Every structure is written in C-alpha cells, then in structure tokens.
Amino acid sequence: MDIDHERSTWLPPDLMVWLLMSALNILALHARDRTGATGTALIRAALVQSPPRQPDDPSRRAFPFPLIVDYGVDEVPLSTQSCTHADGEAVALLDDFAIEGPALVQATSQLADEIVQASGIAEALPVTSAGELRQAGWGVSLRNAMTKWARAHGINVVSA
C-alpha cells in the first residue's frame, strides 16, 4: 500500500465533527424555517465506508475508517480498531441546534462521541459535552476558522 492510498483511508475527527455540525445546523434550519417544525428531535447519524467510485481506484473513498488526527506535522493514529460503520443518536431541541451556539455544539458532541467510540476512541476531542470547542482538538487546517466562528457565536473555547 503506498502512502497516498494510506492517507486516503483516514477521516480526521475534526473534519468529521465539522461536517456533522454543519449538517445538523442546515437540517435544523430547514426543519424549523421551511416546515415549521419545533420541539424535541431525535437525531441519528451514521458513517459508513463507501465503496470506491471506480472499482480499480481504492484511493477515492468518501468516509473510510479508522479515524486519525492530522496536526499538520505527522498523522497520529487514535483508533484501537478499524471499522466500516459507526453511528450515534442524540436528543435535542430542534430550535436549539438551528442556532449556531453552544446547544448546536452539545448536540454535535453527543453524536460525534458515539461515532468515534466505534473506533475505540473515548470522545470526539474537537467539542465538549458542555457545548464548548476544544481548541487542541482541531487540526491546523480548521483550528483558526473554528475558533473565530465559536467566539462570534458565543461558544466558549477551551485550550485543553
């Protein structure tokens, strides 16, 4: 297996958290503003290893496993096991995660924690269950943008 193929078989947890948080917010906005939904929502998310787009090109996978963190220097494996499927559930008030703020981060944390546990990781480091962003959990490519976003939306940023 060459290095390019190896790198394509990883999904950094910070990218997974960012994608999950973005999707939650967009879906909640749609449900609230377009359909008039409100109240408690059961949120389910799953990541599955997708097949290659072209059978002879294994480097073109969308969400493969295991999870790693890339801090811009070296990739650090976090997983104790590889998996092809991970899922999570959370319950939250729809109106809360339609707003970019601590409640959106809390809902994301609940889902992300369950998803990364499938790979043997205790918790998703980029976010906390208290609705905070953990600055050290974000890779170099997303850290500054996420810190700026968090501060603009009243989300506490913790260093460790």
Angstrom distance (rounded) from CA 158 to CA 41: 28
pLDDT tens for residues 102-122? 999 999 999 999 888 877 788
Q: Which of 116, 135, 133 minimizes the C-alpha distance to 12?
A: 116
Q: Give the pLDDT band (50/70/90) at residue 73.
A: very low
Find the length of the chain: 160
pLDDT tens for residues 16-42? 899 999 999 999 999 999 999 999 999
Q: Which secondary-structure segment (H or E) carries 151?
A: helix 140-152
pTM of the model: 0.76
Residue 91 backbone phi and psi in degrees, to 5: -120, 130
Angstrom distance (rounded) from CA 39 to CA 48: 29
Q: Which secondary-structure segment (H or E) carries 157?
A: strand 157-158
Burial degree of 19 (CB within 10 A; 0-12, 13-18, 19+): middle
